[in-house]
Amino acid sequence: MSAIETKLAELGVTLPDAPAPAANYVPYVIAGDMVYVSGQISADADGMIKGKLGDDMDAEAGAQAAKACAISLLAQLKAACDGDIDRLVRVVKLVGFVNSTADFGDQPKVINGASDFMVAALGDKGRHARSAVSAASLPFGVAVEIEAIFQIA
């Protein structure tokens, strides 16, 4: 087991198989030493995590949805690295979209679910630049979608 997967196991997380694309795009693109991962929607073993922040979901539940996105992002990274996730040099940037009402303003708290998880799982390699923005709706009614840029060796 890789060092990163060992740390994930300590956190109670096993990476799932990388989710298949839901439309006409590829799950990731490698350009030089950078991996650009397409947006991963909030989903776990029970299915899609749906909801609208500020309506039927609070920031804490949204943060859990964002953590689920982060797990999928790492699964895609592992696939991009032919199974060797320890090739990760660092998380460069996360861009988080939050399905929220017009008056909901805690998008950063929601996306912290992904950011906090990346740092807990990866240490300093997990520290990253980030955007957290509101969206009037997201595909399939999911609560959160996050895309990522990783640097690999």
> What are the residues whose beta carbons fall under 8 Å from the beta carbon of 86, sequence distance 6 or more?
2, 3, 4
Query: To which H or E segment does residue 40 belong?
Result: strand 34-41
Residue 88 burial (10 A CB sphere; 0-12, 13-18, 19+): buried
The string of pLDDT tens digits covering residues 48-103 is 999 999 999 999 999 999 999 999 999 999 999 999 999 999 999 999 999 999 99
The structural domains of the chain, with segments of one domain joined by +, span 25-152
The helix, strand and coil proportions of the chain, stated in percent and rounded to the nearest 5, come to 35, 30, 30
| CATH class of the 25-152 domain in this structure | alpha beta
Token pair of 24 as six digits:
């006409």
The string of pLDDT tens digits covering residues 101-153 is 999 999 999 999 999 999 999 999 999 999 999 999 999 999 999 999 999 99
> What distance in Å separates the CA atoms of residue 45 and residue 37, rounded to the nearest whole number?
20
Alpha-helical (H) ranges within 27-152 are 59-80, 107-122
Query: To which H or E segment does residue 21 belong?
Result: none
* Model-wide pTM > 0.95: yes
